[in-house]
Structure 1
Amino acid sequence: MRLVRAALRHLPKYQQINNRSFQTLRSHRSYATSANPPSSVSAADLDFGQPVYETHPHMLKPGEITPGITAQEYYDRRAALAHSLPAGSMVVLNSAQLQYRSGAVFFPFRQESNFLYLTGFLEPDSIAIIHKTGDLLNDVTFHLFCRPKDPRLEQWSGPWSGLRAAEDVFNADVAHDISKATQTLPVLLRSASRIYVDLPPVTTPLGTTLRSLKTPMSTLQPHVNSFRAIKSQAEIANMRHAGQVSGRAITSAMRRPWKFEKDLHNYLDYAFTQSGLSGPAYVPVVAGGRRGRMIHYVHNTSTCDKGDTVLVDAGGEYGFYITDITRTWPVNGKFTAAQKDLYSAVLKVQRRCVALCRASAGLSLDEIHRATESGLREELTKLGFEGLNHNDSLMDALFPHHVGHYIGLDVHDVPGYGRSVTLKKGHCVTIEPGVYVPDDERFPKHFRGMAVRIEDSLCVDDDSPIVLSTEAVKEVEDIEALR
């Protein structure tokens, strides 16, 4: 049975991609694993380098390349980026490479974020080139360099997708053998009017090739950032799902007594994956007592003692989109008077600043940070902290980090995209005020050693934010009622 793609060649490109399917594939030597392959083979019986709908219908819906994100959306991203650049431009992306923990032991592979955003292709040893060929939105050619099928090597390393799937599944207009990149790349890249690339190391084939060219080059990252920073409805849906599951897991953790930080850490990792997420989005902070004052404490090897609070900064990932949540709660289920006062002060400011994350407010993250500092000064002064209105160093000691950052494919998303940018509909950010009281006589004795941080992930909308992590309870009464 012929590919549906072949039947759609008369349609405009965007319709081809929107309707493309591959229920069966004709036999092709790139897929063959025996001397006498059948004349046609079901896609469900093939092995690819990542889940596809035909092999993993429990993970993907028809048309999706990665969970929640369709082939059409990946194509639209490439077309929009190319359309924003000068005529004849080429965007060049190098995949991430497998990283080794020690000897032959490797870390789980994670694709480079810009490569992932524009292709959905999840394999190492790959290069993507997006060529703007004309002035129309659809005047774009997608080249994908990747590994050809190799049954012998795949027996050892697991399957990868191959050149035919690069075209039929991932919608490359032209697929190239990555082992021939040093011969093919120079010819292709010399036809560009300008190359947009974040230069890889000179030790890589791409790095060597790029440095040998005289074609003008520009840094790619700022151009991709402007698109990645504003999330589509599909991206927001992924992050909402990650926030919902993660929030419920954290609330569930609050119901239980924990003696050791590592047990709470392991419970959250399990709860995220048990409920359909791919796993934790980052190494969590599980900090009992005074260790909560260390912003990125991730040893998670000590105890959770009765009478203390535990600060947990954790979140799960779905379809490569993350959620970022922090909650602080009493180990024994009930706040002391001082803990409740400090927690309530931070919560009041956090709620106020979450409400500012709307497009109609016309504020940036930097401006919301200044509002956070002002609010914390006011609330802490009411609790007996002195000198905060006249001594910035005191405030810096109590609140040493920014109130928020962008989130998306990365925990700190779109690196280089400024916090001074006015928030617009589709920006996704965190709001995370915190107070970390040193054991210092400058501060009230009954608060010394305490740490409170409260963080939600949210999406900016026109008139009110969409809180993505609302299932993680944070009101004092709700936390205490869990036990």
Structure 2
Amino acid sequence: MSIARLPLRVVLRPIPTFRSRPQGRSLVSASDLNFGQPLHETHPHLIKPGELTPGISALEYHHRRAALARKLPRNSIAVLAASELKFRSGPVFYEFHQEPNFYYLTGFNEAEAVAVIEKGQTDVEYTFHLFVRSKDERAELWDGARSGVQAAQDVFNADEAGDIDNVANLLPDVIKSATMVYTDIGSHKKKSAVSRFFSGSSTKVDAFAKLLQNSTVKSLRPLMNEVRLTKSEAELDCMRKAGRISGAVITEAMRNTYKSEKQLWADLAYGFKTQGLDGEAYVPVIGGGHNALSIHYVRNDAVLNDHDMVLVDAGGEYGGYITDITRTWPVSGKFTDPQKDMYNMILDVQKSCVSLCREDADVSLDKLHRVAENGLKNGLKDLGFDKSRSGCLDTLFPHHVGHYIGLDVHDAPGYPRTDKLKENQCITIEPGIYVPINDERWPEHFRGLGIRIEDSVRIGSEKVEVLTSTALKDVEAIEALK
């Protein structure tokens, strides 16, 4: 795509017109049509003028594709597939969640689609191909609206658009013309999401892989990690909104008294949606008492007892961008002395790590982890733990102190934790201590206690921005809520 071409289409996008039928001649306004996702013309209460998805403009999506194209060698392509709809049983499906890299480059939020970014012979030009489901009146009667092929061009700014059912005839020529293909389709030893669109494929050979057998193929993920790692101001605003609202919902939950994990979970999910977020960013951990010792405990079906603490790892998302928060508080609203001592020790470590989330601090995720380990070791010693025991922190602090966040809860998977953190990257800081129930190596009054404190943080140049500061975490502030 010529960079000079796209702004024209973006300017026109808020008021596009479409053919009412493939064979028809009349043109209608976008507001009179149905699409497979909210647009400003159909959902002005959700999408602002110029935006393609909440908070993100059509022009920004072009800049993202252009940024990827600059990283591709000349005469090469990147191929991405949308997520497939997953079925729970029979025709009953799970809630759809778009493949993050596909979503990041296209803003297209439907299943059964393929995107190709084709790098030409210059560094400032690319062609955006988008293959999607065509409009189908009968299918849409059952499954809801589709955006269709025409919208792939007029709304999502594809240079070349086609019916996904015809991709077997259209994609091979694009692939054959490329000197190198970057893709992760089928890389996880699962049947390729696009294979079923190729007729006559062997049941033993992935059709898409067979199509690539004469091509030089490389993984796309490392390049996508590089372009996604540093957030734009629009992305940060989405994450700020998700963090601000999620934190406030969790603080409100601290005010209430719950009899069960499930009741607390229901209140959080309700709060995220009613306060303006799209919903939950992930299946939360609502771990009361000993359940907090399981890092990814998600059954959330136990009774909450007054003398216990409850560990809540939860957050909402906005426009696909997530927030990740963990708070641990006493079910009764008042800390016991052992709970308070352990909690304040972990909070001090968490705050010291958060204070280092600046570009001028010259830190990496691994360096922050070492800071957390040293702080926890010293704090545990002061609380009477024998830190000389073999595997002390392997047992008490078994996870890393943080990870990248963005469209994914664990953003940029595989990106090295040893790289220096830079301005506008976003991470979590989440130290925790989990003391086994029946392990005589540890002081008895701490056994069975699991505490984690986590915030989502933007790396600043000289100043830290905590995206989730509305979730209270000081002992005095928590106790004052009840």
**Where on the TM-score scale, by shorter chain, does this alignment land: which range?**
over 0.9
Residues 68 and 319, structure 1, Cα contact 8 Å, conserved in 2: yes
Cα deviation, residue 109, structure 1: 1.0
Q: Distance in 2 between matches of 1:334 and 1:13?
A: 62
1:432-461 CA-to-partner distances (Å, cap 9, x unmatched) read 000111121111111111111000001111
Counterpart of 1:312 in 2: which secondary structure? strand
Counterpart of 1:414 in 2: which secondary structure? coil
Q: Distance in 1 between matches of 2:338 and 2:407?
A: 38
Residues 429 and 455, structure 2, Cα contact 8 Å, conserved in 1: yes
Residues 154 and 160, structure 1, Cα contact 8 Å, conserved in 2: yes
Cα deviation, residue 15, structure 1: 2.4
2:46 to 59, 82, 88: 59
Distance 1:24 1:464, change over 3 A: closer
1:397 to 392, 395, 398: 395
Residues 145 and 178, structure 1, Cα contact 8 Å, conserved in 2: yes
Residues 322 and 409, structure 2, Cα contact 8 Å, conserved in 1: yes
Q: Distance in 2 between matches of 1:364 and 1:26?
A: 50
1:211-244 CA-to-partner distances (Å, cap 9, x unmatched) read 2341211111001100111111111110110000
Give yes or no for the alignment of 1:148 onto 2:134: yes
Question: Partner of 2:405 in structure 1?
Answer: 407
Counterpart of 1:179 in 2: which secondary structure? helix
Cα deviation, residue 465, structure 1: 1.8
Residues 438 and 449, structure 1, Cα contact 8 Å, conserved in 2: yes
Give yes or no for the alignment of 1:112 onto 2:109: no
Give 5+ residue unaligned stretches, structure 1. 1-8
Counterpart of 1:165 in 2: which secondary structure? helix
Q: How does 1:335-414 map to 2 (within 5 A)?
A: 335-386=335-386, 388=387, 390-414=388-412
Q: Distance in 1 between matches of 2:236 and 2:7?
A: 24
Q: Distance in 1 between matches of 2:420 and 2:447?
A: 36
Counterpart of 2:391 in 1: which secondary structure? helix
One-letter code of the match for 1:194? Answer: M
Counterpart of 1:429 in 2: which secondary structure? strand
Q: Distance in 2 between matches of 1:170 and 1:377?
A: 52
Q: Distance in 2 between matches of 1:395 and 1:177?
A: 55
Q: How does 1:46-125 map to 2 (within 5 A)?
A: 46-125=33-112
Counterpart of 2:165 in 1: which secondary structure? helix
Cα deviation, residue 183, structure 1: 1.3
Q: How does 1:259-338 map to 2 (within 5 A)?
A: 259-338=259-338
Cα deviation, residue 366, structure 1: 0.7
1:169 to 150, 155, 164: 155
Q: Distance in 1 between matches of 2:180 and 2:73?
A: 8
Residues 9 and 154, structure 2, Cα contact 8 Å, conserved in 1: no
Cα deviation, residue 419, structure 1: 1.3
Q: Distance in 1 between matches of 2:3 and 2:60?
A: 18
Cα deviation, residue 21, structure 1: 2.3
2:12 to 17, 20, 31: 20
Counterpart of 1:328 in 2: which secondary structure? strand
Counterpart of 1:326 in 2: which secondary structure? strand
Distance 1:357 1:10, change over 3 A: closer
Question: Partner of 2:247 in structure 1?
Answer: 247
Q: Distance in 2 between matches of 1:101 and 1:348?
A: 44
Q: Distance in 1 between matches of 2:37 and 2:138?
A: 18
Question: Partner of 2:475 in structure 1?
Answer: 476
Quote the RMSD (CA, aligned, Å).
1.7
Number of equivalent positions: 467
Residues 229 and 427, structure 1, Cα contact 8 Å, conserved in 2: yes
Q: How does 1:128-277 map to 2 (within 5 A)?
A: 128-137=115-124, 139-200=125-186, 201-202=191-192, 203-205=195-197, 208-213=207-212, 214-277=214-277
Cα deviation, residue 39, structure 1: 2.9
Residues 185 and 209, structure 1, Cα contact 8 Å, conserved in 2: no
Identity of aligned residues (%): 51
Distance 1:246 1:11, change over 3 A: closer
Residues 2 and 126, structure 2, Cα contact 8 Å, conserved in 1: no
One-letter code of the match for 2:44? Answer: P
Cα deviation, residue 11, structure 1: 9.3
Q: Distance in 1 between matches of 2:97 and 2:2?
A: 37
Residues 17 and 72, structure 1, Cα contact 8 Å, conserved in 2: no
One-letter code of the match for 1:276? Answer: G
Residues 68 and 235, structure 1, Cα contact 8 Å, conserved in 2: yes
Cα deviation, residue 20, structure 1: 2.7
Counterpart of 2:333 in 1: which secondary structure? coil
Question: Partner of 1:127 in structure 2?
Answer: 114
One-letter code of the match for 1:20? Answer: L
Q: Distance in 1 between matches of 2:470 and 2:3?
A: 45
Cα deviation, residue 22, structure 1: 4.4
Cα deviation, residue 406, structure 1: 0.8
Residues 437 and 449, structure 1, Cα contact 8 Å, conserved in 2: yes
Q: Distance in 2 between matches of 1:321 and 1:195?
A: 28
Q: Distance in 2 between matches of 1:237 and 1:146?
A: 29
Residues 69 and 123, structure 2, Cα contact 8 Å, conserved in 1: no
One-letter code of the match for 1:432? Answer: E
Q: Distance in 2 between matches of 1:323 and 1:20?
A: 33
Distance 1:86 1:309, change over 3 A: same
One-letter code of the match for 1:180? Answer: N
One-letter code of the match for 2:404? Answer: Y
Counterpart of 2:131 in 1: which secondary structure? strand
Distance 1:26 1:270, change over 3 A: closer
One-letter code of the match for 1:378? Answer: N
Residues 259 and 303, structure 2, Cα contact 8 Å, conserved in 1: yes
Q: Distance in 2 between matches of 1:370 and 1:414?
A: 21
Give 5+ residue unaligned stretches, structure 2. 199-205
Distance 1:10 1:339, change over 3 A: closer
Q: Distance in 2 between matches of 1:281 and 1:26?
A: 34
Counterpart of 1:225 in 2: which secondary structure? helix
Give yes or no for the alignment of 1:419 onto 2:417: yes
Q: Distance in 1 between matches of 2:96 and 2:66?
A: 27
Residues 17 and 71, structure 1, Cα contact 8 Å, conserved in 2: no
Q: Distance in 2 between matches of 1:381 and 1:217?
A: 52
Cα deviation, residue 357, structure 1: 1.1
One-letter code of the match for 2:280? Answer: P
